[in-house]
Structure 1
């Protein structure tokens, strides 16, 4: 099954914020986590993730820092800010309304 672009775009922010709520992470690990959580149904690319992370950073929802991984390569790590936690709570409430409504419509 292919998830439509509109649905992927609409769910991107709460998915990334939710992943970062578990702790800081870097781009490739975020992409791997999305694929794992969706059983491979959501296969995001760098071109989808990094513009979102940069937008969230501009909004003050995430902050980043450079770190050197175990293989000696530099990675940019992202973590939620207090504003990001508030945005995640807001997104969660909105999605609960949407999923509740869809559940009722499909029942």
Structure 2
């Protein structure tokens, strides 16, 4: 049986962190970002293009990623996204916050199981 989908609120709350993590490995165009995200978390981070691109544009406005146009040998130009130094700093900070947050939530949930 397939795992239940995460709520859209939960996915939205960590979307920036997931995108920055995916881009940490290498620059990618939007389709590659979508594919890579779909490979993580049992496929729970499958976004539609209409959801992903506004997030990418916002991350670029924040200065956490940058983009450049690339023309591959096939001839069709595509925008390639990469994480910036500021994006790496934010990702490190958010990852540390997430670790503390999830540890705290797990502690509460664990205590609640014993009542």
Same fold (TM over 0.5): yes
Partner of 2:98: 95
Distance in 1 (CA, whole Å) between partners of 2:19 and 2:84 is: 13
TM-score by length of 1: 0.91
SS at match of 1:65: strand
Matches within 5 A, 1:1-107: 1-107=4-110
Distance in 2 (CA, whole Å) between partners of 1:70 and 1:11 is: 35
- Runs of 4+ residues over 3 Å off in structure 1: none
Unpaired segments of 5 or more residues in structure 1?
none
Distance in 2 (CA, whole Å) between partners of 1:58 and 1:69 is: 25
Distance in 2 (CA, whole Å) between partners of 1:101 and 1:56 is: 28
Unpaired segments of 5 or more residues in structure 2?
111-115
Name the count of aligned residue pairs: 107
Distance in 2 (CA, whole Å) between partners of 1:105 and 1:99 is: 10
Residues 2 and 72 from structure 1, CA distance in 2 versus in 1: closer, same or farther, beyond 3 angstroms? same
CA deviation after TM superposition for structure 1 residue 81, in Å: 1.1
| Bigger radius of gyration | 2
SS at match of 2:108: helix
Partner of 2:113: none
Deviation string, structure 1 residues 28-87 (Cα, Å, up to 9, x no partner) = 111111111122222211111111111111111111001123533221101111111111
RMSD: 1.3
Distance in 1 (CA, whole Å) between partners of 2:44 and 2:83 is: 25
